[in-house]
């Protein structure tokens, strides 16, 4: 952007404001890109509120164990993000992470996806993490 002489104060202030907003958005974009994993998902728990900090500490305690984890919550509450974070903090982090949305599958389709003869989810996850959603 540029300002022609003689410039008006309002135009100068607007140009500076726009430049600052652009810089802030670029920094925010850069930060969000760093949070994304190889699949393009945000796999970290973002935020620094007390409940998020408590959740993060609990996840970091259970992630190194071999325990199965039940994540319960309403649709859209971030269960997949929590599952990805648990996976990322676990010894299985270098293995596959597969999320299967069971809500869109029939009973027969779920059975085929999990146990099918060709390329089943259980074969593909192979030592990694399987997240069964909904």
pLDDT tens-digit readout, 70-112:
998 888 888 888 898 888 888 888 888 898 888 888 888 888 8
Q: Would you say residue 112 lies in a domain? A: yes
Q: What is the average pLDDT score of the chain? A: 83
Site of tokens 């305690």: 61
Q: Would you say residue 21 lies in a domain? A: yes
Cα separation, 58 vs 51, in Å, equals: 11
pTM over 0.95: no
| 27-64 pLDDT per residue, tens | 887 776 666 655 555 556 777 789 888 988 888 888 88
Q: Which CATH number does the domain housing residue 67 bear?
A: 3.40.50.300
Do 41 and 72 belong to one domain?
yes
Do 44 and 108 belong to one domain?
yes
Do 83 and 28 belong to one domain?
no
Do 22 and 43 belong to one domain?
no
Q: Would you say residue 89 lies in a domain? A: yes
What's the domain range around 76? 36-133
Cα separation, 45 vs 131, in Å, equals: 17
What is the full DSSP assignment across 66-124?
Answer: ---------TTSSHHHHHHHHHHHSTTTTS-EEEEEGGGS-HHHHHHHHH-SSS-HHHH
Do 14 and 70 belong to one domain?
no
């Amino acid at each position: 952007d540029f300002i022609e002489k003689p410039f008006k104060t309002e135009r100068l202030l607007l140009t500076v404001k726009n430049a600052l907003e652009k810089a802030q958005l670029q920094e925010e974009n850069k930060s969000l890109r760093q949070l994304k994993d190889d699949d393009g998902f945000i796999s970290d728990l973002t935020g620094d509120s007390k409940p998020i900090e408590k959740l993060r500490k609990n996840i970091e305690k259970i992630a190194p164990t071999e325990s199965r984890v039940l994540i319960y919550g309403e649709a859209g509450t971030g269960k997949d993000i929590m599952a990805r974070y648990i996976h990322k903090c676990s010894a299985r982090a270098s293995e596959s992470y597969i999320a299967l949305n069971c809500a869109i599958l029939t009973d027969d389709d779920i059975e085929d996806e999990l146990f099918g003869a060709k390329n089943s989810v259980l074969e593909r996850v192979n030592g990694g993490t399987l997240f069964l959603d909904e």
